[in-house]
Structure 1
């Protein structure tokens, strides 16, 4: 049985695919730049690389899973949970990396290095 996709779902999928296609190579470039440049090897850039790795995982894994959840057929509870858990874990890792960067920046402003 064919599953039709509404105009809203088509727009959603298009935007998600565009975000994934831009975020994955962009974050890989960030990781590569930090790896190649010795001047970028401090604690702040360690957090930035952590965020970039989390965002590569979000772009490569979470976005396709989110599309499957959105347009996929109705499933049993445990199979839905099996798909939803990685989405939540990887998204949360990206958010926690952002939090670490924010705390690092706050501490750098509040307690400057002499």
Structure 2
């Protein structure tokens, strides 16, 4: 029973992550004033998180419940996709942090 609750919570998080990050992309796409370097990095992070929410989390849920059963190659593919999307999200977050650090550093020097 606990596994079903965990799966439902993960699905809700995946859905909200996908929809919320899609709205970030739409907002930057629609509003011309939001098209800044920082926001481009945030859009990159949002796209990576859309991949996490729509592909990586469902792959993680499937591997948690034991699918694919007796198929090593498909299991490795799903776990590789999971790692790829989560790492791309982490690297996008790192890029945002470095860009913000440099912006603050440059603004204090000048």
Taking structure 2 as the reference length, the TM-score comes to 0.90
For structure 1, list consecutive stretches of 5 or more residues without a partner in the other structure: 1-6
- Distance in structure 2 (CA, Å) of the matches to 1:87 and 1:53: 15
Q: Could you say which structure has the higher helix fraction? A: 2
Q: How does 1:1-114 map to 2 (within 5 A)?
A: 7-73=1-67, 74-112=69-107
Pairwise CA distance, 1:112:
1.2
Pairwise CA distance, 1:78:
2.2
CA RMSD of aligned residues (A): 1.4
Runs of 4+ in 1 over 6 A off after TM superposition: none
Taking structure 1 as the reference length, the TM-score comes to 0.87
For structure 2, list consecutive stretches of 5 or more residues without a partner in the other structure: none
**The residue matched to 2:107 in structure 1 has which SS?**
coil
- Distance in structure 2 (CA, Å) of the matches to 1:75 and 1:111: 55
